[in-house]
Amino acid sequence: MNPQYIELVKSTVPVLRENGVALTSYFYNRMLTNNPELKNTFNLDHQSTGRQPRALAAAVLAYAENIENPSVLAKAIEHISTKHVSLDIQPDQYSIVGENLLHSISEVLDVPMDSDLIAAWKEAYLQLAEILINSEKQKFDNLAAKQGGWSGWRSFDITAIESNENGKTFTIKATDGNDVVGADAGQYVSVKVKVPNHELQQPQQFKFADAQANNEFKFAVKAEENGTEFSVANILLENYNVGDTVQVTAPL
Ligand code: HEM
């Protein structure tokens, strides 16, 4: 990136940060209106709390601040790309996010889309997107190469549900009957369910309390007291039975 563009991007970070709420709410509203299929990718229960929208925009701003030295953000990149791979985020989705983010920056800063400022932000975003896409590709490849591993979503059947004092423990096995890679305690998978009364699916991560083996996974689900109708935990607890199918990504 040329020094003039770097300066332009860095000089607008404080204003964007100050207007963080406007930036993120404009961004998500615009994106989910123009690309409603992404409602199956983003957790709508998290959207309602505002936690996730802030995380994405904050990460872009943090990156822009350190644009001359992106290695500062190596830990964040590792964390974000792991989460993205667990949600099966694909390279082509970066252009959708990028376009909506640039329009939101243009709106919040009140500058035209064809200004130098937006051109500079576009370069910054593309640079960050490339770093994430490369990191994610490596992780997808590693998952697919493992014995019993896979990349993206795989269908699993619920084979047992046990109640406990905090909720229920679900046991699941791959619908295809083939091997399933093991997992360490503390690793997590994303589980995707159908939302009752909506043409929607929703993903959520569940962490394993114990190591997983024998071609099956066991994970505990606790009710979310303040969950909306999109709460994956509550949907699993209230609507899913033995024999039903969920979509699951490989443990990370
Ligand atoms: C440069 C671009 C991007 C940045 C900086 C970014 C950053 C982030 C951050 C910081 C998080 C929160 C991680 C956490 O929960 O700890 C996140 C989560 C997430 N990102 Fe991205 N992201 C980018 C692109 C994308 C794209 C292209 C998609 C797909 C459309 C996407 C989908 C998601 C989803 C679904 C989550 C989880 C949100 C939830 O809780 O539901 N992101 N991202």
Residue 94 domain flag:
yes
Mean pLDDT of the 6-22 span: 87
- Residues 10 and 126 reside in one and the same domain: yes
From 98, 123, 144, the end of a domain falls on 144
With cut-offs at 50, 70 and 90, classify the pLDDT of residue 47: low
Q: Which amino acid residue places its CA nearest to atom 7 of ligand 1?
A: 56
Task: Examine the domain organization and report whether 243 and 186 are in the same domain.
Answer: yes
Mean pLDDT of 55-61: 80
Contact 131, 66 (CB under 8 A): no
Whether the pLDDT of residue 31 is over 80: the answer is yes
Confidence of residue 159 (pLDDT cuts 50, 70, 90): very high
CA of 120 to the centre of ligand 1 (A): 22
For residues 86 and 189, the answer to whether their CB atoms sit within 8 Å is yes
Q: Which of 93, 109, 144 is the last residue of a domain?
A: 144
In whole angstroms, give the CA distance from residue 133 to residue 85.
10
What's the distance, CA 200 to chain centroid? Answer: 16
Domain contains 225: yes
Question: Are residues 199 and 95 part of one domain?
Answer: no
For ligand 1, whether the C-beta of 80 sits within 6 Å is: yes
- Within a domain: residue 149? no
Domain end position, chosen among 98, 121, 144: 144
Quickly count: other Cβ atoms within 10 Å of residue 198's Cβ. Answer: 12
User: How many structural domains comprise the chain?
Assistant: 2
Domain CATH for 59: 1.10.490.10
Q: pLDDT by residue (tens digit) across 171-212?
A: 999 999 999 999 999 999 999 999 999 999 999 999 999 999
pLDDT in tens, 80-130: 999 999 999 999 999 999 999 999 999 988 999 999 999 999 999 999 999
- CATH number of the CATH domain containing 164: 2.40.30.10
How does the average pLDDT of the chain come out, rounded? 92
Pocket test for ligand 1, best of 52, 54, 153, 200 (most atoms within 8 A of CB): 52
Instruction: Tell me, yes or no, whether 91 and 197 share the same domain.
Output: no
Q: Residue 39: is its pLDDT beyond 80? A: yes
Asked, for residue 35, whether it belongs to a domain, the answer is yes
199 catalytic per annotation: no
65 and 85 fall within a common domain: yes
Which has more pLDDT, 58 or 249? 249
Q: Which atom of ligand 1 is nearest to the CA of 63?
A: 5
243 and 136 in a single domain? The answer is no
Q: What is the pLDDT of residue 63?
A: 85
Structural domain that includes position 176: 154-248
Work out the average pLDDT over 211-239: 95
C-alpha to C-alpha distance for 212 and 120, rounded to whole angstroms: 47
Alpha helices for 146-193 (secondary structure H): none
Other C-beta atoms lying within 10 Å of the C-beta of residue 14: 11
Q: Tell me if 86 CB under 6 Å of ligand 1.
A: no
